[in-house]
């Protein structure tokens, strides 16, 4: 039993109740407090439809990749390859469209299929070779980085990107809403339905809760874990595609920073509404906190390094809140 859990048992009932409320609703309260504070401090720039739309548009890619990571974490594993994979996918689809002149829909299908294959490889190494998921996915991610640099010869692909490809991310095809937001809603909505409203989702949560008990109950644990990695890989591929479209170029390391953002969102989300459990809705809230935090810093002209400080602090706080939630749930 952890020291936090032992300490939680020594607290008075009222203190435990207060901490329980904080552990479950602290992130939502923090998000609302952040929005209200920034709105008061910058009433002309922050609380506008245009700014909120921009925040969601900019955060959509992080939400998509974090949504995929959530599935891997829900089944009890970690996927450290997602940022490196997204970078590879971004430069690959740019090359397929610019150099190989493939139709954009075909290029998208190829890249997303590759994302699924990478997830399958991660899942196989973890479940069949029995390599720890941190080591396995970090190793695969490093290999993917090498492949990205090999494919591009270390040179970004920037010339000749067709307008139709740019519109994948920059377009507003439905009711004037940015495409990134539409895709994010569809992806996270689909993942939420899968995990929360289907028999397969029950198996996914069972494996994450107790893999041994799930196996004894007849669940194919390895298959479920591999599925988590495959979904994570496909979401990383989609993120890489949309990022390349937004940037209008393919770069071998363009999405590497999404790894930390995704983990911060997922762990912050585990402290939302549930006692330290990972879930898609929580990940969405976690990503929004990070996005609005960055946006507020930008509006007030904070230096770039402050974003990294904020993101690191959020990750540490998120893990602490998740641990607190689990400890209180054990009381």
Spatial distance between the Cα atoms of 142 and 322, rounded to a whole number of angstroms: 29
pTM for the structure as a whole: 0.91
Q: H helices of 153-198, where?
A: 163-170, 179-197
23 inside domain: no
Greatest Cα pair distance in the chain:
67
- The boundaries of the domain holding residue 75 are 3-7+29-329
Spatial distance between the Cα atoms of 241 and 85, rounded to a whole number of angstroms: 11
Q: What is the pLDDT at residue 26?
A: 78
Which 8-state DSSP code applies to residue 273? S
298 inside domain: yes
And the tokens for 324? Answer: 């607190």
On the question of pLDDT at 19 being above 80, the answer is no
Q: What is the mean pLDDT of residues 318-323?
A: 70
On the question of pLDDT at 18 being above 70, the answer is no
288 inside domain: yes
17 inside domain: no
Q: What is the pLDDT at residue 329?
A: 58
Q: What is the pLDDT at residue 273?
A: 78
157 beta partners: 250
Task: Give Cα 238 to chain centroid, integer Å.
Answer: 12
21 inside domain: no
Model confidence band, residue 16 (pLDDT cutoffs 50, 70, 90): low
215 inside domain: yes
Task: Determine the straight-line distance between the first and last CA of the chain, rounded to whole angstroms.
Answer: 11
The count of structural domains within the chain is 1
Tell me which of 153 and 235 has the higher pLDDT.
Answer: 235
277 inside domain: yes
Least confident of 24-28, 65-69, 141-145, 235-239: 24-28
Q: What is the mean pLDDT of residues 159-171?
A: 94
On the question of pLDDT at 217 being above 60, the answer is yes
Tell me which of 294 and 16 has the higher pLDDT.
Answer: 294
Spatial distance between the Cα atoms of 16 and 9, rounded to a whole number of angstroms: 8
On the question of pLDDT at 6 being above 50, the answer is no
Q: What is the pLDDT at residue 240?
A: 98
Spatial distance between the Cα atoms of 239 and 85, rounded to a whole number of angstroms: 9
Q: What is the pLDDT at residue 154?
A: 87
């Amino acid at each position: 039993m952890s020291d936090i859990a032992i300490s939680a048992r020594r607290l008075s009932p009222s203190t435990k109740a207060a901490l329980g409320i904080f552990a479950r609703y602290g992130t939502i309260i923090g998000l609302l407090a952040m929005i209200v504070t920034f709105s008061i401090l910058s009433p002309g720039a922050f609380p506008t439809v245009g700014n909120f739309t921009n925040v969601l548009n900019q955060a959509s890619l992080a939400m998509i990749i974090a949504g995929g990571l959530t599935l891997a974490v829900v089944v009890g594993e970690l996927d450290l390859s997602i940022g490196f994979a997204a970078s590879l996918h971004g430069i690959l689809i740019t090359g397929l469209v610019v150099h190989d002149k493939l139709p954009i829909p075909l290029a998208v299908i190829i890249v997303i299929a590759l994302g699924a294959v990478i997830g399958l490889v991660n899942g196989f190494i973890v479940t069949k070779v029995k390599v720890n998921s941190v080591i396995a996915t970090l190793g695969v991610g490093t290999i993917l980085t090498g492949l990205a640099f090999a494919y591009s010869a270390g040179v970004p692909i920037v010339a000749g990107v067709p307008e139709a490809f740019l519109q994948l991310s920059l377009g507003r095809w439905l009711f004037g809403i940015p495409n990134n937001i539409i895709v994010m809603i569809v992806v996270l909505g689909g993942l939420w339905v899968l995990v929360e409203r289907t028999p397969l989702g029950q198996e996914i949560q069972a494996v994450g809760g107790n893999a041994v008990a799930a196996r004894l109950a007849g669940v194919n644990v390895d298959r479920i874990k591999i599925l988590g990695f495959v979904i994570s890989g496909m979401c990383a591929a989609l993120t890489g595609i949309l990022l390349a479209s937004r940037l209008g170029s393919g770069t071998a390391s363009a999405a590497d920073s999404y790894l930390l953002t995704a983990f911060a969102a997922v762990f912050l989300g585990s402290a939302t509404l549930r006692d330290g459990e990972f879930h898609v809705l929580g990940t969405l809230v976690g990503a929004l906190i990070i996005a609005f935090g960055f946006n507020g810093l930008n509006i007030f002209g904070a230096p770039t390094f402050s974003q990294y400080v904020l993101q690191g602090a959020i990750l540490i706080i998120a893990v602490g809140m998740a641990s607190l939630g689990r400890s209180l749930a054990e009381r």
